[in-house]
């Protein structure tokens, strides 16, 4: 069991690293701004480290038994948990950006869903490998 826990944590960290790099690149190259979303983080250890740790912690969701053998489906489904946490807890209560982070732009929920889907699919494939 410990081996499985280490694998899903590491896979979640890797998924978070990929997610973070895609989010940073979307801000750097103006994709977020073109969508009217004010998310353009700088790539720094201060920003990256907590994201990677949280990604690893969320990776424990991959310990849930799953009948479907398609990793992308499991990844997309399980990515809804951190998405819900971000949209309905962290944005409104921790960063005070409104429900769904709407104060960052109307399409913020879409950006969060897509970015967390990237985390989920990458993590699912890393767990399977």
Please give the C-alpha separations between residue 127 and each of 4, 6, 18, 67, 81, in angstroms, as whole numbers. 9, 10, 14, 15, 18
Q: How confident is the model at residue 129 (pLDDT cuts 50, 70, 90)?
A: low
Output the pTM of the full model. Answer: 0.92
> What are the extents of the domains in the chain?
2-128
Look up residue 67 and give its DSSP letter.
S
Taking only the tens place, the pLDDT of each residue in 17-68 is 999 999 999 999 999 999 999 999 999 999 999 999 999 999 999 999 777 7
Nearest to 118, CA basis, from 90, 82, 68: 82
Distance of CA 28 to the CA centre of its chain: 18
CB 33 within 8 A of CB 40: yes
Cα distance between residue 25 and residue 3, in whole Å: 33
């Amino acid at each position: 069991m410990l081996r499985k826990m280490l694998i899903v944590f590491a896979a979640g960290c890797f998924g978070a690293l990929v997610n973070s790099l895609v989010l940073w690149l979307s801000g750097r190259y103006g994709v977020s701004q073109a969508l009217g979303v004010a998310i353009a983080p700088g790539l720094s250890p201060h920003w990256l480290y907590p994201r990677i740790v949280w990604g690893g912690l969320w990776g424990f969701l991959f310990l849930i038994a799953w009948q479907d053998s398609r990793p992308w489906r499991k990844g997309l489904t399980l990515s809804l948990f951190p998405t819900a946490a971000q949209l309905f807890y962290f944005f409104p209560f921790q960063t005070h950006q409104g429900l769904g982070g709407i104060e960052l732009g109307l399409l913020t929920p879409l950006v969060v869903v897509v970015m967390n889907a990237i985390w989920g699919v990458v993590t699912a494939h890393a767990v399977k490998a």
